[in-house]
Amino acid sequence: MLNKGCSEEELFTFFSQKKREDMDYNYILSSMCTIPHPVAVRAHCMFMETNLGDPGLFLGTASLEKLLIMRLGTLFHLPEAGGYATTGGTESNIQALRLAQVSKKEITYPNVVVPESAHFSFRKACDLLCLEMRTVPLGKDFRMDTGEAAEQIDKNTVCLVGIAGSTEYGMVDPIADLAKIADSHDVFFHVDAAFGGLVLPFLNHSKPFDFSLPGVTTIAVDPHKMGMSTIPAGCLLTRRPDMLNSLNIETPYLSVKQEYTLAGTRPGAPVVGALAVLDYLGVQGMRAIIAGCMKNTERLIAGMEIFGFPRAVTPDVNVATFTCREVPEPWKVSWTRHGHLRIVCMPHVHLDRIEAFLKDIGEMHA
Ligand SMILES: *Cc1c(COP(=O)(O)O)cnc(C)c1O
């Protein structure tokens, strides 16, 4: 640390320089995050100093968090769902598995059953909670094999996990079938809709993945991905409003006596940012944005196939994957564990960016 401090001017010149080393979103095709919506930025700035970890001091902000949960619950066909704002999918998934685990305390060696496509956060959650993670292979369509899932469940299983919009291939598992399986085995069913949770409700022909299915216990959804909020904004929703209380611990020095969240101090800013986007755009505005992202995904797939780069699979959400070895600079793409090129058509990836990318990759492989 500097002994004397430095001038603000000097400091921010240094920061600007560093910020220029960051990638320009114009070339980022690999991220599930995006440029936050201007109303999210405005709300974020307005609520900068709020701490949801001490809700008794920030009653207004805490009520906005409740409103966000109600908006998402309504979107997921259960307005009275419980829940809270997390730092993202990772925390939501950890907490969902914790809930499942405490619901069956009598089990000595608990396990959870997840698809092979599960996000790596489940690895972290299982490590932290000492849960055995059983992985179910995917079918040819990159969706969880339901027969295999049912096979893996035994008397020590506390949770079955399904993905609604997988990180790598953008696929939705057979959620309705999995919900029935979980129900018949009396285990929790957690739907990881971190990405798809703010895509699927706005599509015209999507299958149910939410609380409209009786077996679904909890849902993870990330407003800092397709919700265009500022980072960090995730949410965990629970079917029973009081379910989270099973995680309560005593909090001696706060305005509330108990807390079930994983984080202590929690920012209100991105939470209000998330609510701002949903309320500003409404269902119609969200539909328009999602329709644009899906259209761009289709255009990208069609364009790539003309160049001889076939899709790995036809995705359910705006994640496109291809058999393709190399892409030109300075485009930032990602690669799946099976070696497929992966591009996420986020809201900042406008049609002109797709066309520019197609032109560059076409020239490179000409
Ligand atoms: C992004 C993602 C996560 C992890 O979310 P973070 O916000 O990065 O913690 C979990 N599950 C799925 C399906 C995701 O796409």
CATH of the domain at 327: 3.90.1150.10
> Are 27 and 57 members of one domain?
no
Per-residue confidence in pLDDT tens, the chain, 366 aa: 889 999 999 999 999 999 999 999 999 999 999 999 999 999 999 999 999 999 999 999 999 999 999 999 999 999 999 999 999 999 999 999 999 999 999 999 999 999 999 999 999 999 999 999 999 999 989 999 999 999 999 999 999 999 999 999 999 999 999 999 999 999 999 999 999 999 999 999 889 999 999 999 999 999 999 999 999 999 999 999 999 999 999 998 888 889 999 999 999 999 999 999 999 999 999 999 999 999 999 999 999 999 999 999 999 999 999 999 999 999 999 999 999 999 999 999 999 999 999 999 999 987
> Are 123 and 110 members of one domain?
yes
> Are 352 and 341 members of one domain?
yes
Mutate to test the pocket of ligand 1, among 222, 235, 262 (most ligand atoms within 8 A of CB): 222
Domain count, the chain: 2
**Does residue 333 lie within any of the structural domains?**
yes
> Are 186 and 294 members of one domain?
no
> Are 53 and 186 members of one domain?
yes
Q: Which is the closest atom of ligand 1 to the Cα of 165? A: 13
CA distances from 148 to 18, 26, 96, 134, 138 (A): 49, 42, 22, 11, 9
Which amino acid residue places its CA nearest to atom 6 of ligand 1? 89
- Residue 206: the pLDDT is 86
- Residue 254: the pLDDT is 83
> Are 94 and 147 members of one domain?
yes
273-308 burial: b if 16+ Cβ within 10 Å, else e: bbbbbbebbeeeebeebbebbbebbebbbebbeeee
**Does residue 11 lie within any of the structural domains?**
no
Number of Cβ within 10 Å of residue 242's Cβ equals 8
Taking the centre of ligand 1 as the mean of its atom positions, its distance from the CA of residue 11, in whole angstroms, is 34
Pocket, ligand 1, Cβ cutoff 6 A? 32, 88-90, 93, 119, 121, 163, 167, 192, 194-195, 222, 234
**Does residue 262 lie within any of the structural domains?**
yes
Which amino acid residue places its CA nearest to atom 3 of ligand 1? 89
For residue 146, the enclosing domain spans 38-278
Which amino acid residue places its CA nearest to atom 7 of ligand 1? 88
Which amino acid residue places its CA nearest to atom 12 of ligand 1? 194
> Are 57 and 200 members of one domain?
yes
DSSP structural state of residue 65: H
**Does residue 178 lie within any of the structural domains?**
yes
> Are 208 and 69 members of one domain?
yes
Mutate to test the pocket of ligand 1, among 119, 128, 142 (most ligand atoms within 8 A of CB): 119
> Are 261 and 146 members of one domain?
yes
**Does residue 293 lie within any of the structural domains?**
yes
Domain boundary among 224, 249, 278: 278
Reference 203, options 334, 299, 313, 297; nearest CA is 297
> Are 87 and 168 members of one domain?
yes
Mutate to test the pocket of ligand 1, among 30, 32, 219 (most ligand atoms within 8 A of CB): 32
- Residue 366: the pLDDT is 79
**Does residue 255 lie within any of the structural domains?**
yes
Taking the centre of ligand 1 as the mean of its atom positions, its distance from the CA of residue 231, in whole angstroms, is 12
Q: Which is the closest atom of ligand 1 to the Cα of 195? A: 15
- Residue 345: the pLDDT is 98
> Are 32 and 115 members of one domain?
no
**Does residue 29 lie within any of the structural domains?**
yes
> Are 238 and 350 members of one domain?
no
Q: Please state whether 170 falls in left (phi above 0), alpha (psi between -120 and 50) or beta.
A: left
Alpha-carbon span 50 to 62, nearest angstrom:
9
Contact assessment for residue 225 and residue 33, using Cβ atoms and an 8 Å cutoff: yes
Domain boundary among 278, 299, 325: 278
